[in-house]
Amino acid sequence: MSESAVEVSGLTKRFGDFAAVEGVSFAVERGEVFGLLGPNGAGKSTTIRMLCGILAPTSGEGRVGGHDVGREPEAVRERIGYMSQRFSLYLDLTTEENLEFYGGIYGVARERLSERIGWALEMAGLEEQRHRLTGELPTGWRQRLALGCALLHEPEVVFLDEPTAGVDPISRRRFWEVIYGLAEAGVACLVTTHYMDEAERCDRVALMYGGRVIALDSPEGLKRQSVAAGLLEVACEEPGRAVALLQKTAGVKRARLYGAGVHVVVSEPATGARLVREALEAAGLRPSRVEAAEASLEDVFVALIQEAEAGGAR
């Protein structure tokens, strides 16, 4: 039982010459909320599809709940809960009927099923909507129902594929409370997301780009990464002109608008602040503030991806 809930090593999927996922390795522990991030086409969905036993890996290994995803896809599917951005609910069935269908497919014993349906309705806050058609429910409610369906059989591992796309902030917060509850109960949760604030909520995050994992750490760990070092927050006049100017200044790696000011990444953190201030003063842009800032997760990801792109071009 020392095995992790999800173990991935060297997982690769090729479609012809195109490697959608290449050499991906990570592990998700029981009770952990693990985030999978990356731009569209980075290989997140392909990775999840392999881990759900839908897509056979070209090479490498994936084990979910102790079962090999390539060799025992059925055993894997019985042990996981999966919820996607496009909720696979039957809109012409009621809330309860959807739950009954999923319970039947997951083979939840009849006497246990009503108890589990009660649990799911309570968890999703849908007790009052039990007999309403799913198609009449707002998106946020449907999302919680979809989660309830995916959890009916008490899976050891839950895959949430962009679960909060198109959901209002309050529903999203409530949704994350459910996820933390699951993690506390020892369920391994693997979440893909576009939202940075959601990435911050994960215990650990893997950033995927071009089919590879290019960084894997806790959100705090990622922010401490060297790529994000040398970030300066600048307040000055005419920030638009400042960005154009700084992008051409030697010793500045990147400059972009950030809020009312400018975020600048310099190659030499020790001397960078002085360099930027001098450049702006010379141009008459009157910098009122130039100081080191803590990188946001977004800064880190942008930096990591640009670095990966540069590496790929090399």
Residue ranges that bind other proteins, judged by CB under 8 A: 52-54, 74, 77-78, 80, 82, 84, 86-93, 97, 100-107, 159
State which residue, 49 or 253, has the beta carbon closest to other proteins.
49
| Amino acid at position 165, single letter | A
CB of 96 to other proteins, least distance (A): 10
d(CA 149, CA 153): 8
Q: Which residues contact 118 (CB under 8 A, 6 or more apart)?
A: none
157-161 and 80-84: which strand pairing?
parallel
Closest separation in Å from C-beta 215 to other proteins = 28
Q: Kindly tell me which of 112 and 173 has the beta carbon lying closer to other proteins.
A: 112
97 or 233: CB nearest other proteins: 97
Q: Find the shortest distance in angstroms from Cβ 293 to other proteins.
A: 42
Q: How far is the CB of 29 from other proteins (least distance, A)?
A: 22
Name every residue whose Cβ is closer than 8 Å to that of residue 112 and which is 6 or more positions away in sequence: none
Amino acid at 143: Q
DSSP state of 228: G
CA atoms of 72 and 61, how far apart (whole Å): 12
Q: How far is the CB of 297 from other proteins (least distance, A)?
A: 29
**Locate tokens 């083979």: which residue?**
107
Cβ contact 257:243 at 8 Å = yes
